[in-house]
């Protein structure tokens, strides 16, 4: 007998091993797929996953090595999960071992891991129960934690508590006062669900909920921002849990805000489990096991949470399904949204894709009858949708990018005691630093890109490779001191607004100001207090947030999206505009959205503003049909990079030549093409686009084509990658 295992290597094949020497034939024949096996791969020990116990091997028995150790007697990976992983490996033409590497908690992939069987938890003490949290006046966070534990009749895990934003020192403070105590809890620990009062659904919401629970496979929940999609999710989840099943909720990376978590916990109590990139290995393992054993009822996570096994799957929800962060952009390039649909079909459960601005892919699936659609066209409660209009920048005298009309509108908004949001999709101070006398400009030496000037702290920063340099005082080329900063970044806007409105708080929210762990939640707290202020920020502000006092949204520049080289440019621009605009006019404030543009009459922009996203999207879909671009067709892309300029193109030319012998019916190869940024981080880059009439033609072609890529030798540290259904052409 042979153990056929998947190993974490990029090689797209399985590896055969002999059973460990001390294992009996009987115990081997009992092993099932999904058990972990320790093996030596070259000189290194590795954890592989058993895919089958085979009776024939293509490799001679004396060439095979015995496996080192059998780590599980019962499969650690459930069959359903293994089916999903195999499907993904097959569809994305990626190594199954590497898929598993992405999908499993790191803890399970370590050869010499210690077994852990319990985790730390905290519980209220008798004194703690009798202590009034408000008596801890000087320690507000401690009071909040005390109150949380008072209201929980079971202990909470430390992981859960830390995910609620309580730092270690807060916990220690209460432990020292003996108001709470430490306990050990099982690894797969979770709380029982409490059911809070659901809201009374309006007619549209009720219809949507009925549509979802009719049980048909996939529902696109297309609801404008503020229409109450979340309430529909909550009630769909509730009915699933009441049948004893589990719910998996995927949210975009920056959508996993404390606000999101609070809304779920307000309804279901502290049983909600989180999975995201900042989780430690131990936390991830605990959540994974709690989900696999069925102890956890609700799992909310970002992209990779789609791989979480569920003992009793009930429903999958993908919120903001259009969001680009659901697609992994390196290594194993999967789309968590698409896998959610596949997984739901495999497990025969409903899946809901929700968005105010659905992707063209999902709209096309509705059109083709593969998904059903439920629409929410009205804002829930009393809120009114915002009024959107353009501001013509032509002939205007701009103050640091702001037109007089925009500044006037900001002043009016603040005077009314409301808050304003200024959206600008570029961080730093200015995107170009140029010499007025000789035209020199700051360029990254590793990329074909300009370096962005940051002033706090002062430096030049390449946003493509992270290269950082001192800010020159004079021109490196002609020594002139006439250096000019061209264009707008968030820092510059913040400075200009603070000068214009000296008595108002200006909060800059971008990757630079939120790198400190609690910075974002501190700023959000300040905004929630409701005093007039101006938020200046990047797309971090676009999603998920709920700002009750927001009266005005100003979009500094809409022109970039209209003239993007990427065929998805207009779609992305429209989604961003509508999402940012959706932050305004929540609750009972009528919001206003102003869009600065040099092309205020641009037909696409006007179509979007006058007829709304769905009309806009449906025209774009027709255009894609004419242009034979996705989703009307299927697409894959090969990206190649190397140390020498010509190597990527030479490699692709050779591959294309070989591909002449393949059946190319319904396939169009385009390339070698220069990458949109031909040099990045010191590497030269080229691309090949593969367009196919449909997905199955693409899949059949790639099955053979990947073999050609694998057998073609590249020079100069050449690296290639295959991206099926790319969403970013970079």
Query: At closest approach, how far in Å is the CB of 467 from ligand ADP?
Result: 39
Q: In terms of CB distance, is 211 or 513 closer to ligand ADP? A: 211
Tell me how far apart the alpha carbons of residues 287 and 608 are, in angstroms, rounded to a whole number: 42
Q: Which residues 366-405 are close enough to bind ligand ADP by CB under 6 A? A: 380-381
Q: Using CB distances below 5 to 8 A depending on partner kind, what does residue 435 bind out of Zn ion, ligand ADP, none?
A: Zn ion
Query: At closest approach, how far in Å is the CB of 374 from ligand ADP?
Result: 12
Strand partners, 437: none
Contact between 343 and ligand ADP by CB under 6 A: the answer reads no
Strand partners, 118: 186
Q: Strand 387-392 and strand 592-597: pairing?
A: parallel
Q: Using CB distances below 5 to 8 A depending on partner kind, what does residue 18 bind out of ligand ADP, Zn ion, none?
A: none
Q: Using CB distances below 5 to 8 A depending on partner kind, what does residue 703 bind out of Zn ion, ligand ADP, none?
A: none
Contact between 355 and ligand ADP by CB under 6 A: the answer reads no
Query: At closest approach, how far in Å is the CB of 228 from ligand ADP?
Result: 3
Strand partners, 300: 249, 274
Q: In terms of CB distance, is 149 or 374 closer to ligand ADP? A: 374
Total residues in contact with ligand ADP, by rule CB under 6 A? 15
Contact between 324 and ligand ADP by CB under 6 A: the answer reads no
Q: Using CB distances below 5 to 8 A depending on partner kind, what does residue 229 bind out of Zn ion, ligand ADP, none?
A: ligand ADP
Contact between 121 and ligand ADP by CB under 6 A: the answer reads no
Q: Using CB distances below 5 to 8 A depending on partner kind, what does residue 497 bind out of ligand ADP, Zn ion, none?
A: none
When binding is defined by CB under 6 A, the residue of 163, 230, 488, 596 that contacts ligand ADP is 230
Query: At closest approach, how far in Å is the CB of 681 from Zn ion?
Result: 6
Query: At closest approach, how far in Å is the CB of 49 from ligand ADP?
Result: 38
Q: Assign residue 390 a region (left: φ > 0; alpha: ψ between -120 and 50; beta: otherwise).
A: beta
Contact between 521 and ligand ADP by CB under 6 A: the answer reads no
Contact between 487 and ligand ADP by CB under 6 A: the answer reads no
When binding is defined by CB under 6 A, the residue of 101, 219, 225, 538 that contacts ligand ADP is 225
Contact between 451 and ligand ADP by CB under 6 A: the answer reads no
Q: Using CB distances below 5 to 8 A depending on partner kind, what does residue 199 bind out of ligand ADP, Zn ion, none?
A: ligand ADP
Measure Cα distances from 720 to 274, 330, 540, 687 in Å: 34, 11, 31, 9
Residue with token string 């400190």: 516
Residue 281, token pair as written in the block: 């290995």
Tell me how far apart the alpha carbons of residues 562 and 568 are, in angstroms, rounded to a whole number: 10
Q: Rounded to 10 degrees, what is the CA torsion of 558, 560, 562, 567? A: -140
Contact between 454 and ligand ADP by CB under 6 A: the answer reads no
Spatial contact of 573 and 564, defined as CB atoms under 8 Å apart: yes
Measure Cα distances from 315 to 245, 365, 574 in Å: 8, 20, 29
Contact between 219 and ligand ADP by CB under 6 A: the answer reads no
Q: Using CB distances below 5 to 8 A depending on partner kind, what does residue 477 bind out of ligand ADP, Zn ion, none?
A: Zn ion
Q: Using CB distances below 5 to 8 A depending on partner kind, what does residue 447 bind out of ligand ADP, Zn ion, none?
A: Zn ion
> Greatest CA separation found in the chain?
85
Query: At closest approach, how far in Å is the CB of 512 from Zn ion?
Result: 17
Spatial contact of 465 and 474, defined as CB atoms under 8 Å apart: no
Burial of 326 (0-12, 13-18, 19+ CB in 10 A): buried
When binding is defined by CB under 6 A, the residue of 191, 229, 464, 492 that contacts ligand ADP is 229
Task: State whether the Cα torsion 168-169-170-176 is positive or negative.
Answer: positive
Tell me how far apart the alpha carbons of residues 538 and 545 are, in angstroms, rounded to a whole number: 13
Q: Using CB distances below 5 to 8 A depending on partner kind, what does residue 603 bind out of Zn ion, ligand ADP, none?
A: none
Q: What is the CA radius of gyration of the chain?
A: 28
Q: In terms of CB distance, is 262 or 480 closer to ligand ADP? A: 262
CA 644 centroid distance within chain: 33
Upstream peptide bond of 457 is cis (omega within 30 degrees of 0): yes
Query: At closest approach, how far in Å is the CB of 171 from ligand ADP?
Result: 31
User: Where does this chain touch ligand ADP (CB under 6 A) — which range of 100-108, 225-233, 493-501, 506-514?
Assistant: 225-233
Give helix then strand counts, H and E, for the chain: 22, 30
Binding-residue pattern over the window 186 to 215 for ligand ADP, x denoting contact by CB under 6 A? -------------xxxx--x----------
Neighbours of 184 (CB within 10 A): 11
Neighbours of 178 (CB within 10 A): 11
Residues that bind ligand ADP (CB under 6 A): 199-202, 205, 223, 225-231, 380-381
């Amino acid at each position: 007998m042979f153990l056929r295992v998947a190993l974490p290597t990029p090689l797209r094949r399985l590896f055969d091993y002999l059973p460990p020497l001390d294992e009996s034939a009987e115990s081997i024949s009992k092993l099932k797929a999904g058990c972990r096996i320790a093996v030596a791969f070259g000189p290194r020990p590795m954890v592989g996953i058993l895919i089958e116990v085979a009776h024939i091997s293509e490799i001679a028995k004396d060439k095979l090595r015995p496996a080192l150790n059998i780590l599980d007697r019962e499969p650690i990976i459930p069959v359903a999960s293994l089916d999903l992983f195999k499907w993904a490996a097959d569809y994305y033409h990626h190594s199954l071992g590497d898929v598993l590497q992405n999908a499993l908690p790191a803890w399970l992939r370590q050869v010499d891991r210690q077994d852990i069987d319990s985790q730390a938890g905290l519980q209220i003490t008798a004194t703690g129960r009798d202590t009034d949290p408000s008596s801890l006046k000087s320690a507000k966070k401690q009071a909040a934690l005390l109150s949380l534990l008072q209201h929980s009749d079971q202990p909470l895990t430390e992981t859960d508590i830390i995910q609620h934003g309580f730092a270690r020192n807060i916990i220690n403070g209460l432990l020292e006062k003996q108001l709470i105590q430490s306990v050990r809890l099982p690894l797969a620990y979770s709380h029982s669900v409490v059911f809070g009062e659901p809201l009374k659904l309006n007619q549209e919401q009720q219809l949507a909920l009925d549509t979802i629970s009719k049980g048909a496979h996939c529902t696109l929940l297309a609801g404008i921002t503020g229409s109450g999609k979340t309430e529909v999710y909550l009630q769909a989840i509730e009915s699933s849990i009441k049948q004893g099943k589990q719910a998996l909720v995927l949210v975009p990376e920056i959508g996993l805000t404390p606000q999101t978590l609070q809304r779920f916990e307000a309804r279901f109590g502290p049983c909600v489990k989180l999975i995201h990139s900042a989780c430690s290995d131990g936390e991830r393992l605990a959540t994974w096991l709690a989900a696999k054993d069925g102890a956890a009822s609700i799992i909310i996570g970002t992209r990779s949470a789609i791989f979480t096994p569920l003992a009793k799957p009930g429903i999958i929800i993908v919120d903001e399904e259009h969001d680009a962060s659901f697609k992994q952009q390196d290594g194993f390039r999967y789309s968590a949204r698409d896998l959610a649909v596949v997984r739901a079909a495999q497990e025969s459960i409903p899946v809901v894709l929700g968005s105010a601005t659905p992707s063209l892919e999902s709209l096309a699936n509705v059109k083709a009858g593969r998904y059903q659609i439920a629409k929410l066209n009205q804002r829930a409660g009393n809120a009114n949708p915002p009024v959107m209009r353009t501001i013509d920048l032509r002939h205007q005298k701009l103050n640091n990018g702001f037109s007089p009309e925009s500044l006037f509108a900001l002043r009016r908004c603040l005077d009314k005691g409301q808050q304003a949001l200024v959206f600008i999709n570029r961080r730093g101070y200015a995107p170009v630093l140029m010499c007025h006398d000789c035209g020199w400009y700051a360029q990254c030496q590793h990329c074909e890109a300009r370096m962005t000037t940051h002033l706090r702290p002062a430096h030049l920063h390449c946003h493509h490779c992270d290269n950082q340099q001192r800010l020159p005082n004079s021109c490196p080329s002609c020594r002139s001191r006439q250096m000019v900063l061209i264009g707008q970044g968030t820092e510059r806007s913040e400075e200009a607004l603070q000068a214009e409105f000296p008595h108002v708080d200006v909060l800059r929210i971008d990757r630079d100001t939120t790198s400190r762990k609690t910075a974002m939640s501190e700023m959000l707290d300040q905004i929630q207090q409701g005093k007039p202020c101006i938020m200046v920020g990047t797309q971090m502000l676009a999603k998920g947030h709920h700002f009750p006092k927001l009266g005005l949204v100003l979009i500094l520049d809409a022109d970039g999206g209209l003239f993007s080289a990427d065929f998805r440019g207009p779609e992305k621009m429209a989604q961003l505009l509508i999402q940012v605009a959706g932050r305004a006019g929540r609750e009972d404030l009528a919001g206003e959205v102003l869009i600065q543009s040099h092309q205020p009459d641009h037909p696409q922009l006007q179509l979007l503003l006058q007829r709304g996203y769905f009309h806009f999207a449906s025209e774009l879909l027709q255009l894609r049909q004419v242009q034979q671009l996705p989703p009307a067709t299927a697409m894959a892309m090969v990206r190649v990079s190397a140390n020498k300029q010509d190597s990527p193109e030479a490699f692709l030319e050779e591959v294309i030549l070989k591909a002449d012998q393949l059946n190319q019916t319904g396939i169009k190869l385009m390339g070698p093409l220069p990458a949109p940024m031909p040099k990045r981080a010191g590497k030269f880059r080229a691309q090949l686009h593969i367009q196919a009439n449909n997905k199955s033609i693409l899949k059949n072609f790639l099955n053979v084509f990947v073999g050609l890529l694998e057998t073609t030798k590249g020079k100069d540290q050449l690296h290639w990658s295959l991206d099926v259904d790319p969403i970013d052409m970079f």
